[in-house]
Chain A
Amino acid sequence: MKPTVGYLQVIWQILRKEVLIEWRGRQGVPVMLVFALMIVFLFNFALQLSPDLQAGLAAGLLWVSLAFASTLGLNRSINLERENNALDGLLMAPVDRSAIFFGKALGNFIFTFLVGLFLLPIFSLFYSQNMLQLPLLLVLLLGLGAYTSLGTLLSALSIQARTRDILLPVLLYPLALPVLIAAVEASQGVLSGQTLGAVSHWIYLLLAGFLIFTASGLLFFETILEE
């Protein structure tokens, strides 16, 4: 009898499957991107603000568009597992089920981060700010890491509910609010020229959110998925 498949190997296998499905279907990232771009364009033309005000608004709009777009990706990701009960196939495998959580959360993170990377230059263009800064990338990494970890866990929770498409945002947005506030504050600080040290309290809050939500996935993912 072989030992349990290596933990990292399982994460890699799940991630590889997520990327392959996205590559084949191209139904996740493009839809998220179109949705996020719509928010960018609509707010830019609707508000007609002065460059100073636009800069202040950029951080908030960036996170609103990423949070909403990410929810579309999270729904898509868990619906893939629901279709044909593919999730049962994963749960039957002789692997630690928390590795499935990490694989899926990593996939969701990568897709949302890609959308974020694409949005940054567009925000720079429309909102008169240099968004291509390393400190902002760090905020994006931590904020999206925390948000997609929580989202992956909650999408697993909602998978067996009849109202799953409504349940995910209803659960996700209130619980993610502290992380989103911290991300907006840290981004605004960075964009207004503050150093990372000056916004370190927000960065620590993001880090704490990331650790708490990831640990929750590690602890509760298996229990949530068993009927």
Chain B
Amino acid sequence: MPIETNTPARWIEINDLIKRFHYQPVLNKLELAIHDGECCLLVGDNGAGKTTLLRIIAGLTRPSQGQVTICGEFAAGDPQLRRRIGYVGHQPMFYQDLTATENLNHYARLYQVNNAQAAVVDALDRAGLTQHQHQPVRTLSRGMQQRLSLVRATLHNPVILLLDEPYTGLDQEAAKAFDATLQYLHKPGRVVLIAAHRPQRLLKITSHIAWLRNGVIYQHIPADQIHATPDLQHYLQEVT
């Protein structure tokens, strides 16, 4: 997707974000700005609100209060803005009775991808799933479904990629392949935000780290400055 020349440097900007579930704030006046080319690792304990934050940015969950700006535009209710976002969640989001190709074709048509069928064939080839393309998704392993999820999320070439615990269910080999894909996807003209509970392997790939704690972004620093923040360093050592 071509990037407009007036695209702001802050591709994701979140101000004063509050999300309550049953009157309990999970995110409490959270502020976060992610810039062009950033590959940001979002860390935090279980239940800290990482998934909620990603779902709010993706437009799947409505914030209780506050604003989310995507590429300089308010995210609320604009279908067109969703075209810029790719999201890999906890679940693969596929129809189990349909084949890998049918599922991807379905999404490619909804996103109006040019030459949808050729794009799907190409994407499956890049993900190493060509030989499984005509199998129903329910017959694919968890790892294959996860790779297929990444194919689905990037099929329309989004400029913002949100990944929620992307290594769940991947074996060592699949995780290595996923590392390589992430490195390929991390480039100027795109931001990647990855939520991970156990982020050890991602520390080498990401450019920034954001620590979600007590409903706010407690730290947001470049990955190479991690030694200057002992409490974050200590936290990461604890969780890994």
Q: Quick check: is A162 within 8 A (CB to CB) of the other chain?
A: no
Contact at A86–B93, with CB atoms within 8 Å? yes
**What is the chain A residue whose CB lies nearest that of B110?**
A93
Establish whether residues B98 and A5, one from each chain, have CB atoms under 8 Å apart when the complex forms.
Answer: no
The CA of A88 and the CA of B89, in the complex, are separated in Å by 9
Residues of A within 8 A of B60 (CB): 88, 91-92, 226-227
Q: Which residues of B contact A3 (CB under 8 A)?
A: 80
A226 lies within 8 A of B92 (CB): no
| In contact, B62 and A227 (Cβ under 8 angstroms) | yes
Taking a contact as CB atoms closer than 8 A, the residue among A24, A83, A96 that contacts B79 in the complex is A96
CB A133 to nearest CB in B, in angstroms, measures 37
Let me know if A89 is at the binding interface, CB within 8 A: yes
Could you say which residues of chain B place their CB within 8 Å of the CB of A88? 60, 87, 89, 91, 93
Q: Does A200 contact B (CB under 8 A)?
A: no
Min CB distance, B134 to chain A, in Å? 12
Does any Cβ of B come within 8 Å of A1's Cβ? yes
The answer to whether A4 and B94 have CB atoms under 8 Å apart is no
Is the Cβ of B61 less than 8 Å from the Cβ of A226?
yes
**Chain B interface: which size bin?**
20 to 34
CB of B82 within 8 A of chain A? yes
Closest approach, in angstroms, between the C-beta of A162 and any C-beta of chain B?
A: 14
Which residue in A24, A92, A94 is a CB contact (below 8 Å) of B98?
A24
A94 B91 Cβ-Cβ under 8 A: no
- CB of B110 within 8 A of CB of A24, answer no
In the complex, A166 has a CB within 8 A of chain B: no
Provide the bound-state CA to CA distance between A93 and B83, in Å: 7
B208 at the interface (CB under 8 A from A): no
Shortest Cβ gap from A94 to chain B (Å)? 4
Nearest A residue to B136, CB-CB: A24
**Known contacts A85-B90, A88-B87, A227-B62; A17/B95 CB under 8 A:** yes
Residues of the A chain whose Cβ atoms lie less than 8 Å from the Cβ of B81: 94
> With A1-B83, A2-B112, A85-B90 given, is the CB distance from A92 to B59 under 8 Å?
yes
Q: Which residues of B contact A85 (CB under 8 A)?
A: 89-93
- Alpha-carbon distance A1/B70, docked complex (angstroms): 15
Per DSSP, are chain A's interface residues mostly helix, strand or loop, or mixed? Answer: helix
> Are the CB atoms of B97 and A5 closer together than 8 Å?
no
B94 touches A86 (CB 8 A): yes
Cβ-neighbour of A92 out of B58, B102, B112 (below 8 A): B58
A34 beta carbon closer than 8 Å to chain B: no
Chain A residues, CB < 8 A from B112: 2, 5, 94
Contact (Cβ within 8 A) B94 A84 = yes
Does B55 lie at the interface of the complex (its beta carbon under 8 Å from any beta carbon of A)?
A: yes
A95 within 8 Å of B by Cβ? yes
Given contacts A24-B136, A95-B110, contact A4 B93 (CB under 8 A): no
Given A86-B93, A88-B60, residue A94 in contact with residue B107 (CB < 8 A): no
* B176 lies within 8 A of chain A by Cβ: no
Establish whether residues B93 and A93, one from each chain, have CB atoms under 8 Å apart when the complex forms.
Answer: no
Is B204 an interface residue, CB under 8 A from the partner?
no
The reply on B186 being an interface residue by CB < 8 A is no
A161 within 8 A of B: no
A17 CA / B108 CA spacing, docked (Å): 13
Q: Does A25 contact B (CB under 8 A)?
A: yes
Establish whether residues B95 and A4, one from each chain, have CB atoms under 8 Å apart when the complex forms.
Answer: no
Most chain B beta-carbon neighbours within 10 Å: one of A25, A80, A85, A86: A86
The answer to whether A84 touches B92 (Cβ under 8 A) is: yes
Q: Name the one of B58, B102, B111 contacting A94, with C-beta atoms under 8 angstroms.
A: B111
Question: Is B14 located at the chain interface by the 8 A CB criterion?
Answer: no
- Report the nearest A residue to B153, measured CB to CB: A92
User: A2-B83, A20-B98, A95-B110 provided; 8 other pairs, C-beta below 8 A?
Assistant: A13-B109, A24-B98, A25-B97, A86-B93, A88-B87, A89-B107, A92-B59, A92-B87
Could you list which residues of chain B lie within 8 angstroms of chain A, going by C-beta atoms?
1, 4, 55, 58-62, 79-83, 85, 87, 89-98, 102, 106-107, 109-112, 136, 152
The 3 closest A-B pairs by CB, nearest first: A89-B93, A85-B91, A94-B83
What are 13 A-to-B residue pairs whose CB atoms are below 8 Å? Answer: A1-B4, A2-B112, A4-B80, A9-B109, A21-B98, A85-B92, A86-B93, A88-B89, A91-B59, A91-B60, A93-B111, A95-B79, A227-B60
